[in-house]
Structure 1
Amino acid sequence: MVDLPSTARVVIIGGGIIGCSTAYHMGKLGWTDTVLLERKKLTSGTTFHAAGLVGQLRTSANITQLLGYSVELYKRLEAETGLQTGWKMNGGLRLACNEARWTEVKRQATTAKSFGLEMHLLTPQEAQDLWPLMTIEDLVGAAYLPTDGQANPSDITQSLAKGARMAGVKIFEDTPVSRVIVEDGRIRGVETPFGVIECEKVICCAGQWTRVLAGSVGVNVPLVSVEHQYMITERIEGVTPGLPTLRDPDRLTYWKEDVGGLVWGGYEPNPKPWAVKGIPEGVHFDLLTSDYDHYSQFMADAIARVPALEHAGVKQLLNGPESFTPDGNFILGEAPELKNFYVGAGFNAFGIASAGGAGMALAEWAAKGEAPYDLWPVDIRRFGRVHQSTDWVRTRTLEAYGKHYTIAWPSEEMTSARPTRRSALYGHLQAAGACFGEKLGWERPNWFADLSVGEVAKDVYSYQRPGWWDQVRREHLACRNGAVLIDQSSFAKFVLKGPDAAKALSYIAAGNIDRPVGSLTYTQMLNVRGGIEADLTVVRRAWDEFYIVTGTGFATHDFDWISRNLTGNCQLVDVTSGSAVLSLMGPDARAVLTRVCPDDLSNIGFPFGTARQISVAGCPVLALRVTYVGELGWELHMPTDVAVTVYEALMAGGGVVNAGYRAIETLRLEKGYRAWGADIGPDHTPVEAGLLWACKMKSGLDFLGRAALESQIASGVNKRLAAFTVDDPSVILLGRETIYRNGERVGWLSSGGFGHTIKKPIGYGYVRSKGVDAAFMASGSYELEVAAERVPARLHLTPLYDPTGARIKA
């Protein structure tokens, strides 16, 4: 019989490394009234059979920072708790066996430098000097990160658990949670076979069991179980304790030293799902049946890389289930469906590397109500309704698993579980040559092939100019010189209605939305620190009704942010699926629209920053005079059942070109429009991002985050966003390139691309320096590091494109 407390402030479910790390950090924050419940024994789920490699570098600075925190924690944990962790900072090697992979590795080295990590590019011989057992005949080069390492997952978990207990957190094994108790939409406690624990908050770190447990209270956690195998060898001559971890992505394999032998495994392109019909009862320190036939696909390449394997003894081929997600990133944060229910799960076989930082972030999130910094790449709110389907999630997740070690091409699209969500115009666009991408299940046109001259609507990826370069240039220049039509039906759209709608929204929005009916406001929504939580458009439809438009991928996040911060008598409703959107943009947009619309479309009759109900080809359309490409234009919002009629009417008169999302990106870069999730986010304020003009600072009205902005205006800031151009048109900017000012590293690019009007590569990034201002930024000499090479760059503090200036012809 377990003697459980009847109450606790927080209950953590799951005693793997994530749950124990969260408990450890809750204790460090002083939340000692925390209880951790484990259904069996600590580590008995997936932690005990993890391989234990600890790498740090990711494509996000903040996720890299989170993994770096793990390393710092593991370095000091043994001294703190007295329990061994098996931590060894023996470094990590990554190999490149072809020129494309070498370009990727060089870009990773630049990313590491941008984020402050030490990473060295090595010759094949230098790599072999660090890892003498491998052959190098096919190597082009390698990268070495000296602060990477390896650990014993079970030992680290037990050490974290001891640290949690030392701080006063209570841990109970053999105590399954049979039910999370929710009453009137609020968490009341958890039920176990030994009684109920009343609590305020639940943190679910239940590994592959999380999806079902969270689903029982209406929370969607998109993960599934996949079999993952690795081999443990007997001792091998030449394997030394200091041998770095090794990743050989072109052979799909990884390696680490283990008591004089090797642990090695891989990520096969044909992974095997597990527990498709549900996880069996009683799984406890259980492994799956070894599948030598399936594993054999690695064998020839592995022996070719490490010939000593051919005669090495095999201790075990270990097969254990791991939880994986549709995009290969783990899942953290407070569930949008249920307040005070937090999730830490879906770690894609790098839970050991992530656990220290993930536990810290989860603990702070639960204790303080917000993440310690922007964690959007792993935020649970990046998912949506399409991810409620386990079949969809499993199909996409298996593709993501199979791409774990393939080259991560710029702008690469996933191909599985498609199409799912299609706009009413999908068939028309497909017939017109659309090459579609996918976002939150939506099929969206990325670019259009000219089928009449034999172009094929298929992506060809490259680290140089991609296969769609000429097509996007064509669409870009058509927008600058004529008119384009872009299907943006996937926009997330909400209606806020009620007598208190204006008052509530006015406090959440940094811009002035309390304006006359028909007004359109581009605004940010800020957190208490002034960070940008949302970047969207608000239309006032009536005195008590607002129409809100935001990006496709932010549907769940922005709805959650707005709804959680609303007060008074008003309701927020998602109307995305009921409304199609066609963006008509370009200097000829007014002439095109006038052909099929009898309403006054003049600049006086329909000025910028307003919205009106108009008639297009006899159909009702809400027209928003707004642009994200820097040209005259309208977003045309309409019921989905008239979208085809409106599209056909607009295209019928000629002079309009279909365009896609990749042209939007090149166009917005020239005009200096910010992208949330890249250039702006919760860690960036309007002062830092050059968006103070969009805030109602002169109004005297209060709004969430205002005090933080006033403080920054008074005291100055330590980073500011700027544009950068490179004169050499062959340079490819993708984002994460390092920014140098007068030879000193001062930041990295948050986004990058090419401006087909100005004919130059463009990047945006924050210049970081104490008390940075416009004079400081303008006075420096700048370079960008691109794939480990520095190129001269120019800094710009104003838009790169002026629509009143001279235009160029395609």
Structure 2
Amino acid sequence: MTSLNNLPESAPAVIIGGGIIGVSTLYHLAKKGVEGAVLVERKQLASGTTWHAAGIVGQLRESSAQTELSKYTARLFTELEVETGQATGYKQNGTLHLALSDIRAEQLRRNHDHAARMKIESQLLGIEEINEIWPLVDTSDVHCGFLVPSNGQVNPLDVTQALAKGAKALGSKIYEHTRAIRILTRNGKVIGVETDKGVIATEKVLLAAGMWSLRFAAEHGVTVPLHAAEHFYILTEAIPDLPRTLPGLVVLEERLYTKEDAGKLLIGGFEARGKAWARDGIPDSFEFDELPFDMEHVEPVLEKFFTRFPALETMGIQTFFNGPESFTPDGRPYIGPAPEMPGLFIAAGMNSNGILNSGGVGLTMAAWMTDGQPPRAVASMLAARAHPFQKNKAYNAERVTEGIGLHWGLHWPGRQIETARGIRRVPLHDRLLSAGALMAERIGWEVPMYFDPANPVWPERASLGWQDWSQRVKEECLAARDQAVLIDQSMYGKLLVQGPDAVRALNRVSGAEMDVAVGTSVYTQFLNGKGGIEADVTVTRIAAEQFMIVTGHPSQIRDQAYIRSHADPAWRFELFDATSAYGLLTIHGPKSRAILQQMSADDLSNEAFAFGAAREIDLAFARVWAIRRSFLGELGYELMVPSEFTVHLHEEIVRVGAAHGLRHAGMFALGACRLEKGFRHFGHDIGEEDTPFETGLGFAVKLSKEDFVGRDVLAKQKATHGAATPHRTVSIMLEHATAEAGPYLIHNEPIFKKGELVGHITSGGWGWRVEAMIGLASLHREAGVTKDWLDEGEFEVQIAGKMHAARVQLGAFYDPSGTIMRG
């Protein structure tokens, strides 16, 4: 095969897209010793979004793993110029955040705690200190400031060229003005890339095409949900005596940011409702292009600029700039293997964070493409979380108008998406609304969070503590304890695995034994090669060669891809996504058995139907798979019913349950109850870097079964540490807290023992049944986290700068023996 324009006939990897993400991945592949990797770019490097980025480099992110990757980016930018001789313009001016409200001030104090835990220097500043550092800003309504001195800023064009130079010096190849036409496949797997200059044979392709990724991926049946939006900023004329070391400034509540730029100020903002760009496709000629500056649209943001920086009134504005940036429906990037096409990897949708993500994402993608797994946990950013409907262009165009504002606005628990709503509805949607359900959006699904028939309007008050819905959630939790609650979880993923080798396929990825009797429900984790947790599911054997997996709705696509990617091609089984085929109603509480027994002739006694069992039973006029489980920790049943029978079953349960005090409950109540029971939440408390033994889930691992993914690592960990692993998930309770006044455990709060940092909160909130502030935490002790060490006490949690005494234990605070749910 002869290629034109000196393209190689083959390459170990091909990257499509010459923005900073693609170039960074090429550089990191070269650093890992991959010789001859190729990058193709339709125009010139950095000519899409990268060139006009503000270039602000922050480090603190929502998780420890992501923060470490951002720290790596900052380190990389300090080293690149020395390594390559190419200037990057990187300087560590720092970033100063201002708080204009009590809630934002508390968030900044919590960020200060988090920064110290992550070994990132930070400072909380008063007004005088802010005025000294940033004399041009109006501080009359500022509560406090938060400074991260080691944050920086970089010239995006220069740093992209430095990465390219470093990659080429190590043998990588870059072809500009070379357009990727399509990815070539055989039996669904990548075998090459066809370009307008020839074909390159390869088994690994990275799509890092920025705002072009949605349409290019969709042409191949791959989902990469994102859309371009217009992004505006202004550049002042030169300001006399403006310090070149001036920190970048962020005022989140006013959606603005600014940085020093060659003696000028670059001031940008992210309006609450933005403008989608290129709904009909990006022009083929696009290269280093600017968009028309819509003064009328941006005027409200500009007014805030001039109010916040009074000196602008006397300054000239040199540039009014508008350029496109791509945003995703949930505000997080898409990275990792494409589940639809083995051999294709995705790194796109950086949500205006491409520069600060570039080093960490490049490092991650290079490891993924060579080692088969990322170096750090990136669960919240996985490409496999996308659902097929999200290829819809109109959906992405509608959502991006809000996405740009979500990127930069004030966040708090319960903040709701308003655009592109009502797309995916469970069969009971209208009936739940009639019952007073308040809905949130999750991957298109309308999900009932709580019920308030008297006031079915979602509150808008921002709070990190007591919420306007807290009283309703309390009532639902206490009803679960004292009577019964009904929760519609039909949006959960339901995956049918069937065939002669179905049990082999499941046993390959599961820690637990899947070869169980028909009518048995098994709680298990899917594991990776490091023994880490890739999924947290229940699997019910409903026939000799049929298994039904129930998983969280974000994992519906991911879990299917994980099973398929680890199965032997010769195994005889099929995997069917049955999510829409079945409703899932769950009923919990001491009256739940009586309610169901009144509707069924089947024996539902504990003797006939024990915890963990699964039965197909008559229920009203329907046939239902009933599973004895409860994520609330009460006597409970999960009822899986064909979708067309869901309305009937709901009517009958509500009718019969009325005499027993049954009420509807939502996801907020489920979340509060699961914390009291110490039940782990995948994505918060457990993930790819956590093993079952480290998270207290060792009971779900059967090391004696035939080989499964991660078995050897887990066997070694068990032999070395037993139950006292150096990292351990535990339950935690604050000694003195109230539901109304807090302090509230949320996420990432540092934990100390005798003044020494020993861990952090992974999730937390108020427990209505135990009447305490509780959470789950990850603790670390080299000698092992033992019960004796925990029983010594003297633990404290740091919340917004203050220390609070805490009690820690291995087991749950509510019904630790599990007697209630097994009764």
Does the 8 A contact of 1:746 with 1:769 survive in 2? yes
- Provide the C-alpha distance between the structure 1 equivalents of 2:62 and 2:104, rounded to a whole number of angstroms: 16
Q: Which amino acid aligns with 1:772?
A: G
Displacement of 1:217 in angstroms is 1.4
Quote the residue 1:170 is aligned against: 173
**Does the residue aligned with 2:560 lie in a helix, a strand or coil?**
helix
**Does the residue aligned with 2:783 lie in a helix, a strand or coil?**
strand
Quote the residue 2:539 is aligned against: 538
Quote the residue 1:341 is aligned against: 344
- Provide the C-alpha distance between the structure 1 equivalents of 2:183 and 2:126, rounded to a whole number of angstroms: 55
- Provide the C-alpha distance between the structure 2 equivalents of 1:252 and 1:672, rounded to a whole number of angstroms: 38
Displacement of 1:527 in angstroms is 0.6
Q: Deviations over 1:651-692 (max 9, x none)?
A: 112121111111001111111111100111110001100111
Displacement of 1:272 in angstroms is 1.1
**Does the residue aligned with 2:168 lie in a helix, a strand or coil?**
helix
Quote the residue 1:557 is aligned against: 558
Does the 8 A contact of 1:190 with 1:196 survive in 2? yes
Q: Which amino acid aligns with 2:707?
A: D
- Provide the C-alpha distance between the structure 1 equivalents of 2:398 and 2:268, rounded to a whole number of angstroms: 22
Q: Which amino acid aligns with 2:684?
A: A
**Does the residue aligned with 1:221 lie in a helix, a strand or coil?**
coil
- Provide the C-alpha distance between the structure 1 equivalents of 2:711 and 2:251, rounded to a whole number of angstroms: 50
Does the 8 A contact of 2:338 with 2:346 survive in 1? yes
Does the 8 A contact of 1:625 with 1:635 survive in 2? yes
Does the 8 A contact of 1:60 with 1:377 survive in 2? no
Are the structure 2 counterparts of residues 594 and 322 from structure 1 closer, same or farther at C-alpha, using a change threshold of 3 Å?
Answer: same
- Provide the C-alpha distance between the structure 2 equivalents of 1:343 and 1:82, rounded to a whole number of angstroms: 30
TM-score (norm 1): 0.97
Task: Note if 1:590 corresponds to 2:624.
Answer: no
Q: Deviations over 1:322-358 (max 9, x none)?
A: 1111111112111011011111111111111111111
- Provide the C-alpha distance between the structure 2 equivalents of 1:688 and 1:803, rounded to a whole number of angstroms: 19
Q: Deviations over 1:693-734 (max 9, x none)?
A: 11113x343322111111112223321111110122222111
- Provide the C-alpha distance between the structure 1 equivalents of 2:625 and 2:196, rounded to a whole number of angstroms: 56
Are the structure 2 counterparts of residues 609 and 28 from structure 1 closer, same or farther at C-alpha, using a change threshold of 3 Å?
Answer: same
Does the 8 A contact of 2:13 with 2:202 survive in 1? yes
Q: Which amino acid aligns with 1:719?
A: H
**Does the residue aligned with 1:210 lie in a helix, a strand or coil?**
helix
Quote the residue 1:760 is aligned against: 772
Displacement of 1:486 in angstroms is 0.5
Does the 8 A contact of 1:328 with 1:397 survive in 2? no
Task: Note if 1:719 corresponds to 2:714.
Answer: no
Does the 8 A contact of 2:96 with 2:146 survive in 1? yes
Task: Note if 1:367 corresponds to 2:356.
Answer: no
Does the 8 A contact of 1:53 with 1:245 survive in 2? yes
Displacement of 1:216 in angstroms is 1.9
Task: Note if 1:781 corresponds to 2:787.
Answer: no
Task: Note if 1:706 corresponds to 2:707.
Answer: no
Q: Which amino acid aligns with 1:768?
A: H
Quote the residue 1:662 is aligned against: 668
Q: Deviations over 1:110-129 (max 9, x none)?
A: 23233332221111111121
Q: Which amino acid aligns with 2:623?
A: P
Quote the residue 1:508 is aligned against: 509
Q: Deviations over 1:23-43 (max 9, x none)?
A: 100000011120111111111
Are the structure 2 counterparts of residues 152 and 455 from structure 1 closer, same or farther at C-alpha, using a change threshold of 3 Å?
Answer: closer
Tell me the number of residue pairs that the alignment of Structure 1 and Structure 2 aligns. 804
Which of 297, 303, 324 in structure 2 is aligned with 1:300?
303
Task: Note if 1:696 corresponds to 2:708.
Answer: no
Does the 8 A contact of 2:276 with 2:400 survive in 1? no
Q: Which amino acid aligns with 1:600?
A: D
- Provide the C-alpha distance between the structure 1 equivalents of 2:475 and 2:819, rounded to a whole number of angstroms: 18
Task: Note if 1:683 corresponds to 2:689.
Answer: yes
Are the structure 2 counterparts of residues 533 and 279 from structure 1 closer, same or farther at C-alpha, using a change threshold of 3 Å?
Answer: same
Quote the residue 2:815 is aligned against: 802
Are the structure 2 counterparts of residues 523 and 722 from structure 1 closer, same or farther at C-alpha, using a change threshold of 3 Å?
Answer: same
Query: Which stretches in structure 2 are left out of the alignment for 5+ residues?
Result: none
- Provide the C-alpha distance between the structure 2 equivalents of 1:455 and 1:337, rounded to a whole number of angstroms: 40
Q: Which amino acid aligns with 1:676?
A: F
- Provide the C-alpha distance between the structure 2 equivalents of 1:778 and 1:366, rounded to a whole number of angstroms: 45
Displacement of 1:15 in angstroms is 1.1
Stretch of structure 1 that moved more, 458-467 or 252-261: 458-467
Stretch of structure 1 that moved more, 152-161 or 376-385: 376-385
**Does the residue aligned with 2:694 lie in a helix, a strand or coil?**
helix
Are the structure 2 counterparts of residues 193 and 701 from structure 1 closer, same or farther at C-alpha, using a change threshold of 3 Å?
Answer: closer
Query: Which stretches in structure 1 are left out of the alignment for 5+ residues?
Result: none
Does the 8 A contact of 1:448 with 1:457 survive in 2? no
- Provide the C-alpha distance between the structure 2 equivalents of 1:491 and 1:513, rounded to a whole number of angstroms: 21
Which of 404, 407, 412 in structure 2 is aligned with 1:409?
412
Q: Deviations over 1:165-223 (max 9, x none)?
A: 11110111111112221222121211122211111111111111111122221111101
**Does the residue aligned with 2:158 lie in a helix, a strand or coil?**
helix
- Provide the C-alpha distance between the structure 1 equivalents of 2:159 and 2:458, rounded to a whole number of angstroms: 50
**Does the residue aligned with 1:707 lie in a helix, a strand or coil?**
helix
Does the 8 A contact of 2:103 with 2:462 survive in 1? no
- Provide the C-alpha distance between the structure 1 equivalents of 2:264 and 2:149, rounded to a whole number of angstroms: 21
Q: Which amino acid aligns with 2:510?
A: A
Matches within 5 A, 1:222-237: 222-237=225-240
- Provide the C-alpha distance between the structure 2 equivalents of 1:357 and 1:24, rounded to a whole number of angstroms: 12
Stretch of structure 1 that moved more, 459-468 or 148-157: 459-468
**Does the residue aligned with 1:243 lie in a helix, a strand or coil?**
coil
Q: Deviations over 1:76-127 (max 9, x none)?
A: 1100000000000111000011212212222222232333322211111111
Superposition CA RMSD, Å: 1.6
Displacement of 1:300 in angstroms is 2.5
- Provide the C-alpha distance between the structure 2 equivalents of 1:557 and 1:779, rounded to a whole number of angstroms: 41
Does the 8 A contact of 1:236 with 1:308 survive in 2? no
Q: Which amino acid aligns with 1:795?
A: V
